[in-house]
Structure 1
């Protein structure tokens, strides 16, 4: 029987045959339908969570299934080009053959004023107000670079460079969140480079945690794990003297290691990384946030959220729901220890919604999506997981869709 050519399909077929499995066996052992396996082997595409299930059944890293091939045609996206034009100009200016810059130099402001603006932008980011962040970033990047150029004394110059690095790391964080990955990479790499020039290990490591998140978003699991592990080893703190910020960055790196390992079907490495992250979180004691030492919130609740995420990736819906409101994730614990970032909390609630769908509770899943939409503004529209959950609700709902479901499908651009 002839097969349509597809790098993914050829890889899955070869590994299945090497394992001595039929399509029916692979489907049954992975919890997928035979139709899904056939579609993939005949040239179809698959989500990463589907590939993870196949890889786990075949006993190989998920990344083994990522065969090279020509990308799919890109849809015209002139709207995004227009919306991002000013940010591109500030972040990626034209470069000629001379050292003279061809970019808008911007106007220098005082360093305390720029720091205040970075803090304001980060607060807006954490409140899911992405439109406001997008409007602030071009001017913030320009004025930070102008302040670095204008700074004279060595001490002032070093402080200006650090401020510019923080502005770039903020841009990288925002751009990763809205899935503008090439621009985000540029921002993170420039921010890390500036921090390294200052020998500011803390700022550079903060940038690395962001870059690892970007690599994870691009399914570059091996690289994310290796980068995070190498950096964690280089900055390992002495617990008796380490600051909360140092412990937080080190712990965040272990979270990245675990996230990469579990997605890449390396459960033993993931479990050890989760244990190390929990150790760091316990030492911090609360959900700690200070953008000058690390760009996210880290503590016991965050570490527990990520451990529950592993259960979701493994398809353990009962486990997700059992731990979702228990222990460190209970309301009383969050009042005592502190809340995680909105992003991490709402990403966790999407896992809860997915668990409800798997167990057939479509209305409970719908209730979660509605709560997230009500509290996050347009955050949910940037989350593929929300669209996956909504598609599953539409495909498994046996009764007529409610108005609430139809409205959510429109909001997420999911077609019934």
Structure 2
């Protein structure tokens, strides 16, 4: 997400001067052009990955460059506001003095709601985001009605578990499509619901989602701290740990590493990656269970996220060396299981970016093309894909190919 602020420019200028660096020296240390540094100091926009590079050169956390200020005007969000009205009504109904102004309707059997949730996850995995948005309001209202309708203690707990997972799924979807305020509300409600029933494991799953949301908002310090505190609370005894416990703990460790890497804390990131690899090794293969663990985790996922660290520090050669070797090789994955489609496609975007940075434009286009064919809707929601395509167009000296024009149009990127 690009950042723009004259306050950030002033902040960068002050920190550069404290470090005793000229704009040219800072640009050289960060591997950037001096025009990029000059543009930021003059109040221009900057990608987060650019700020990472500058922070590394200055020896400070990336978050130290961020400042509070007046937000830029929001332009072009009318479609999302209008298209998600039904979901917003179900998730955040009007709240009065003594009542919530909503009618959840008739209770639906919890077993039917579980099937709807599983169908929704299948739609999400198939990148059918419009269909997910249409089915979520009914799922949320049905879960709310089920909790209110049942009286048996065991049935009540099952209904509350279902509602927690419905909220988790809603939060995951909204984070993916970058509707962050709604996502925060949904994930917070899921965590509160889990805590109210003393279900630490499901609350921790909610925290995994919350940390992803915080990362998406560049709230690196908070994401790392939240994940670390939660990981300490749920750390299992390796000799007696269940697969679900290992998976949740491993996911939290990946969130710690992701936040630390983005915040220029390489030692903390490396330690978290090491511990995540331990959890993945104990699992032995990729693991996913809807009723016990929310996302897929295992050796392949842990390795892909380690490669992501190389991409963050600009080690394109390192990304390409590890991207298809060892456990990430196709034959190896057949033995230990494939990662989630979203994580795999995110990994291949790292590969595409590495190719583009090294001048291998056609290899980068091949990767983007494969992702588009398998996840056309998903790639449209990825800023990295647009950044890669923008860089390709800006450095292309010859006439654009039909493939490039088509991809640029698909990603809404203009030369």
Shorter-chain TM-score range: over 0.9
**Cα separation, 2, equivalents of 1:104 and 1:317:** 54
* TM value normalised by structure 1: 0.98
Q: Describe the SS at the equivalent of 1:289.
A: strand
TM superposition shift of 1:413: 0.2
Equivalences for residues 139-288 of structure 1 within 5 A: 139-288=138-287
In structure 2, list runs of 5 or more residues that go unmatched.
none
In the other structure, the counterpart of 2:367 is: 368
What do the CA deviations read for 1:75-132 (whole angstroms, capped 9, x no partner)? 142221111000000000000001x331122321111111111111112212222122
Q: 1:103 to 1:122 in 2, by over 3 A?
A: same
Give the conservation status (yes or no) of the 8 Å contact 1:8–1:65: yes
In the other structure, the counterpart of 2:378 is: 379
**Cα separation, 1, equivalents of 2:230 and 2:118:** 26
TM superposition shift of 1:171: 0.2
What do the CA deviations read for 1:249-307 (whole angstroms, capped 9, x no partner)? 00000000000000000000000000010000011111101111111100000000000
What do the CA deviations read for 1:183-213 (whole angstroms, capped 9, x no partner)? 0000000001000011111111000000000
**Cα separation, 2, equivalents of 1:5 and 1:311:** 28
Give the conservation status (yes or no) of the 8 Å contact 1:287–1:339: yes
1:69 and 2:69 equivalent?
yes
Q: Describe the SS at the equivalent of 1:319.
A: helix
* TM value normalised by structure 2: 0.98
**Cα separation, 2, equivalents of 1:216 and 1:83:** 25
Structure 1 runs, 4 residues or longer, greater than 2 Å off: none
Give the conservation status (yes or no) of the 8 Å contact 1:107–1:142: no
RMSD of aligned alpha carbons? 1.1
What do the CA deviations read for 1:123-174 (whole angstroms, capped 9, x no partner)? 2212222122111101000000000000111221111111111100000000
TM superposition shift of 1:5: 8.0
In the other structure, the counterpart of 2:407 is: 408
Q: Describe the SS at the equivalent of 1:382.
A: coil
- Equivalent residues, number: 412
In the other structure, the counterpart of 2:97 is: 97
TM superposition shift of 1:377: 2.6
Give the conservation status (yes or no) of the 8 Å contact 1:206–1:293: no
What do the CA deviations read for 1:23-52 (whole angstroms, capped 9, x no partner)? 110011100111111111111121110000
**Cα separation, 2, equivalents of 1:396 and 1:5:** 27
In the other structure, the counterpart of 1:54 is: 54
